[in-house]
């Protein structure tokens, strides 16, 4: 019976070591590795443009396209995939794009806004004022839009869906970028990639707050006025 | 002794199961997971522009900057990090950029070419002909350059280092993009991301082969000539 006990203890000890490895050692590894800490599956999808055929803009509407002889394609294209990723938004959509003139994409964004997704758009001042820009459409539908106030370009072209999915590349949100240009978009939910873009969006969003700009101008004007008054009273 | 044998067998069996788990089960997991299949460590680095200060162009030269009162910064900037990633190239550098007019970055590329790195540059035809484009410099140094022949933009802005590291984003390789614009670059060695870009570069490189273009034109001209001759002989 002494040997049977020894045998039992050895088995139990070996089992304990296995469990220790599985739940302690592996857990620690999971925490230290950024990529593995990702909950769910990792998305790394690359989309290239131009699309060989033009996607049907009615395809993504409820019930799909009902046209009998529709001249547009209903197959999967880079544009249709981009729209699918955008439409996966449940809570927020942060859009930071140099230019947006594609009505189909603008409608997708507006539809999300109407569904209750909190949409924020950050764009370039000069591009915003160009003919064809959809910024007027966003504003008329009640979407918050901010723009830079520099002589340089706000040249980013990225979108963040639900603070967890990044869509980024060379792609401007124009019709020419979809059907003519050579363009690319990377779609990823890797936290190590998405997190810096969330930070950059918030930084620019805060920087270009219209109220803040007005406040700063008023402060500067008051400071200069006080300085002038002080100089006059001192007889400078 | 029978029990001791049993004890020994139990221990050996338990040890064998552990080894089986470690080398078979975990290996299979590693092969099925794309991200884990990556050899070495995963790089996911995001760079934002504009740089607050202008990087010293002499900093990356052998021996660094020797100027006593250099007006440029020698701290780490997004530009200095971009140059470091480019200079990590040992064998190949594939550059697919809409426009390149920054002399500092062009010199970095030319230096790599002189060190024996095989450099290929793919760019946009219209941008290539603009004042300030560094394409003339690349060609004069013997670097292979190809361009699109479409009325649209070859609008990509990516680089692939040694077929394993991708540098991609909104960033055009211009001075304004470094010191003025809001821009981003993602640097990654994730195979699932890099692989499609390698494919796209090769596809465009083959498409815009000058010899192929000449051959196609000659074939078309010959076909039309033969057709005309055939029509004339048939009395059409």
Length of chain B equals 236
Statement: residue B38 has pLDDT above 60: no
Residue B77: alpha-carbon gap to chain centroid: 20
State pLDDT tens for residues B66-99: 888 898 999 999 999 999 999 999 999 999 999 9
Q: What percent of chain B is predicted at pLDDT more than 90?
A: 64
Q: pLDDT (tens digit, 9 = 90+) per residue, A109-131?
A: 999 999 999 999 999 999 999 99
**Could you tell me the two tokens for B66?**
């020797």
Nearest partner of A47 among A193, A182, A161, A174, judged by Cα = A182
**Catalytic sites of A, residue numbers:** 155, 157, 162
Distance from the Cα of B221 to chain A's closest Cα (Å) equals 26
Mutate to test the interface with B, among A12, A42, A155 (most CBs of B within 10 A): A155
Q: How confident is the model at residue B232 (pLDDT cuts 50, 70, 90)?
A: confident
β-bridge partners, B212:
none
Q: Return the residue in A21, A41, A46 with the most chain B beta carbons within 10 A, the one to mutate for interface testing.
A: A46
The pLDDT tens digits for B45-72 are 999 999 999 899 888 777 889 888 898 9
Residue with more model confidence, A101 or B16: A101
Q: What whole-number distance in Å separates Cα of residue A2 and Cα of residue A5?
A: 5
Interface predicted TM-score (ipTM) of this complex, two decimals? 0.78
- Averaged pLDDT score across all residues of chain B: 88
pLDDT at A113: 98
What burial letters (b/e) apply to B15-32, b meaning 16+ CB within 10 Å? eeeeeeeeeeeeeeeeee
Alpha helix segments (H runs only) across B163-234: 175-179, 191-207, 210-233
The pLDDT, as a whole number, for residue B87 is: 97
Q: Which residues of B have a catalytic role annotated?
A: 155, 157, 162
Weakly modelled stretches of chain A, pLDDT under 70: 1, 17, 21-39, 236
Residue B29 pLDDT: 47
- Rounded to 5 degrees, what are φ and ψ at A119? -105, 130
For the entire predicted model, the pTM comes to 0.79
Helix, strand, or coil (residue B144): strand
Inter-chain Cβ pairs, chain A and chain B, closer than 8 A? 139
Evaluate if residue B144 carries a pLDDT over 80.
Answer: yes
Q: What is the pLDDT of residue B230?
A: 87
Query: Per-residue pLDDT averaged across B189-205, rounded?
Result: 97
**Residue B155 is nearest to which of A154, A156, A170, comparing CB atoms?**
A170
Q: Which pLDDT does position A219 carry in this prediction? A: 85
Of B154, B177, B196, the CB nearest to A46: B196
- A6–B10 C-beta distance less than 8 A: no
The angle at the Cα of B84, spanning B168 to B134, to the nearest 5 degrees, equals 65
Contact yes or no for A46/B46 (Cβ under 8 A) = no
Interface touch A193/B204, C-beta < 8 Å:
no
Task: Using the predicted structure, report yes or no on whether residue B21 has a pLDDT greater than 90.
Answer: no
**Residue of B6, B35, B182 lying closest to A42 (CB–CB):** B35
């Amino acid at each position: 019976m002494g040997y049977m006990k020894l045998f039992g203890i050895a088995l139990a000890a070996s089992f304990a070591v296995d469990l220790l490895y599985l739940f302690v050692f592996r857990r620690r590894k999971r925490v230290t590795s950024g990529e593995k800490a990702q909950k769910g599956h990792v998305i790394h999808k690359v989309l290239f443009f131009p699309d060989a055929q033009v996607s049907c803009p009615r395809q993504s509407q409820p019930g799909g396209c009902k046209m009998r002889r529709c001249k547009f394609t209903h197959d999967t294209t880079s544009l249709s995939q981009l729209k699918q990723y955008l439409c996966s938004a449940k809570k927020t959509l942060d859009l930071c794009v140099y230019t947006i003139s594609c009505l189909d994409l603008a409608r997708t964004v507006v539809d999300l806004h109407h569904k209750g997704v909190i949409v924020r758009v950050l764009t370039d001042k000069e591009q915003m004022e160009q003919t064809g820009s959809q910024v007027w459409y966003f504003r008329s539908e009640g979407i918050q839009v901010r723009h830079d106030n520099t002589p340089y370009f706000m040249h980013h072209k990225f979108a963040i869906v639900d603070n967890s999915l990044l869509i980024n590349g060379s792609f401007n949100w124009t019709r020419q970028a979809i059907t003519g240009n050579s363009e690319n978009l990377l779609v990823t939910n890797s936290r190590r990639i998405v997190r810096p873009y969330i930070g950059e969006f918030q930084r620019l969003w805060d920087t270009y707050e219209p109220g803040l700009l007005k406040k700063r101008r008023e402060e500067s004007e008051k400071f200069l006025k006080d300085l002038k008054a002080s100089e006059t009273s001192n007889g400078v």
